[in-house]
Amino acid sequence: MKKLIQKGWRPLVAILLFLVIWQLATQVFSIETWLLPAPSDIVIEAQNVMDRFWPHFFATLQLAVFGFLIGTTVGLVIATILHLMPRVRETFYPFLILSQNMPVIVLAPLLVIWFGFGALPKFIIITLACFFPIAVSALSGFQQTNRELFHYMKMMGATKSQLFWKLELPNALPSVFSGLKIAATYSVMAAVISEWLGAQEGIGVFMTIATSSYKTASVFVAIFIVMVISLTFFGVIQLLEKFLIRWQQKGEEG
Amino acid sequence: MTLEIQTISKSFDTKQVLDDISFSVNAGEFVSLIGPSGSGKSTIFHLIGGLLKPDHGDIVLDDQVITNQTGHISYMPQQSSLFPWRTVLDNVLLGQELQGEKDTERAMMMLEKAGLGDVVHAYPNQLSGGMKQRAAFIRALLSPQSLLLLDEPFSALDEFTRLDMQKWLLSIWEEYERSVLFITHNIDEALFLSDKIIILSANPAIIKATFTIPFARPRSEELLLSAEFLDWKRRLTEAIQA
């Protein structure tokens, strides 16, 4: 805790300073609320809309979590297939890269034409945004398997599946987690974008409505909540990482 | 258990690494391969381990040809090859795990004996270099295969730890009577530990000389400074330089 205060006070002061300047600027230059609301306006707005906001919040949270889980699964499966089948990797790796050069937002309207306004196109968008960092990081984790350990396993007569489960997968875990952290923040962003396309509820819907009626303070409330969800996701994954990769941290301490 | 290496040759591309190597390791025998770096010692291990296929010759274990087959020998690499995400106990059980049955009780007993009783649930990067190599050796001993291949297991350790480890290795080995093939480039180490020493030359490796070492067992540290030992050391050094 002491360490946290020691390390954390600088960024905290920076954030507070930023908010103070923002607050003062809106008053000194008398900026209209619909253009840029002051932090105090946003806080008041947050209290006002909170009751209406919760259903939107849960809708987006649900979408992001499930989308993230699907994306993670797809990413890991793709990485595993590409790793275990070098021919397939050579053939399809360029496709993997190409899929990322296509901005998700551009693809979104097409998905709506094909799959309508239901949950499916939304999950596709989130999956497309999430799977790539996971697949790439897992693949590089698989490829960086320690040669000594690999030789040991081979000499001892390990089968291909033993090599994968006992060596390559645990070895790739730290890499996988760096991919997961990136994917976690992507998933929240993709969930909100997918809701812009048309949905019953969700933070994206809330934002669209607020924007069209120039309730800028409400938009800021939504942005703030999105940030909180993103950070929470990130934190949960970091905790999971600490729990699953204990062997690395203990070494650093000792 | 008898291992026979029969007229093995091996080239990589155009470079010949091993030329007509033959030797054997008899049951309960401790045999050292000694030679300069780059003399293809590790290639011999990879051949015996089945990772490589020789150009000529065969490798026979107990009348069974095991050329280019993995899983027949127990191996201890140069550097600690403990798996960082496994505890010491899970690491020493790995060799058994790959072949089937796990005997946790026996593993605990052997770790206890090796002075690793307090760290069975620790992760490898909490251990010292000597402790890691002890665990790696116990893993090799616990593996079901009867022949142990030890590839310069103490080369990364400092001189003091090294001597301790050699004494420790001898005491454990004398108790379990396993056949060992040991690679080293340290003459003292080879003399202190072995029943038989095979000297290799480099580029391509051929067997220069084979010595049967007559020192009685169990051996103690005093042997290292005896006139007999120094005499043997001179003979080996001459053979290597010849």
- Do B61 and B23 lie in one domain? The reply is yes
Q: Which helix (H) or strand (E) holds A196?
A: helix A169-196
Judge contact between A232 and A248, C-beta under 8 A. no
**Cα-Cα-Cα-Cα dihedral sign, residues B54, B57, B60, B65:** positive
Residue B232's domain is classified under what CATH number? 3.40.50.300
- Do B64 and B184 lie in one domain? The reply is yes
With pLDDT > 70 as the criterion, what percentage of chain B qualifies?
Answer: 100
Range of the structural domain that residue A15 is part of: 1-31
Token pair of B33 as six digits: 């391969």
pLDDT at A95: 87
Edge-to-edge strand ranges of the sheet holding B179-184: B74-76, B147-151, B179-184, B30-34, B196-200, B207-212
Residue of B nearest to A249 (CA): B125
Domain end position, chosen among B103, B122, B144: B144
Q: How many domains does chain B have?
A: 2
- Angle between helices A216-244 and A39-84 in degrees, nearest 10: 40
- Do A128 and A147 lie in one domain? The reply is yes
Cβ of B89 under 8 Å from any chain A Cβ? no
Residue of B nearest to A168 (CA): B83
Q: How many CA atoms lie within 13 A of A7 on its CB side?
A: 4
Q: Which of A148, A158, A247 sits opposite B98 (nearest CB)?
A: A158
C-beta atoms of A156 and B98 within 8 A? yes
Cβ of B128 under 8 Å from any chain A Cβ? no
* Residues of chain B found within 8 Å of residue A157, distances taken between Cβ atoms: 50, 70-72, 98-99
- Do B155 and B235 lie in one domain? The reply is yes
Adjacent-strand bridge partners of B211: B197
Lowest mean pLDDT among A98-107, A204-213, B42-51, B68-77: A98-107
Cβ of A149 under 8 Å from any chain B Cβ? yes
Residue A122 identity: K
Q: How many domains does chain A have?
A: 2
Range of the structural domain that residue B98 is part of: 81-144
Residues in chain B: 242
- Do A183 and A100 lie in one domain? The reply is yes
* pLDDT by 10s per residue, chain A, length 254: 677 778 788 889 999 999 999 999 999 998 988 899 999 999 999 999 988 999 999 999 999 999 999 999 999 999 999 999 999 999 998 888 888 888 877 888 888 889 988 889 999 999 999 999 999 999 999 999 988 899 899 999 999 999 999 999 999 999 999 999 999 999 999 999 999 887 889 999 999 999 999 999 999 999 999 999 999 999 999 999 999 988 875 444 33
- Do A199 and A234 lie in one domain? The reply is yes
Judge contact between B101 and B109, C-beta under 8 A. no
pLDDT tens digit sequence for B130-142 = 899 999 999 999 9
Best CA proximity match to B43, nearest among B149, B139, B129: B149
pLDDT at A124: 92
- Do B160 and B211 lie in one domain? The reply is yes
pLDDT at A226: 94
- Do B173 and B154 lie in one domain? The reply is yes
User: Cα A208 to chain center, whole Å?
Assistant: 21
What would you report as the CA-atom Rg of chain A, rounded to the nearest whole angstrom?
23
Q: How many CB pairs under 8 A join A and B?
A: 78
- Do A78 and A17 lie in one domain? The reply is no
pLDDT at A1: 67
- Do A171 and A127 lie in one domain? The reply is yes
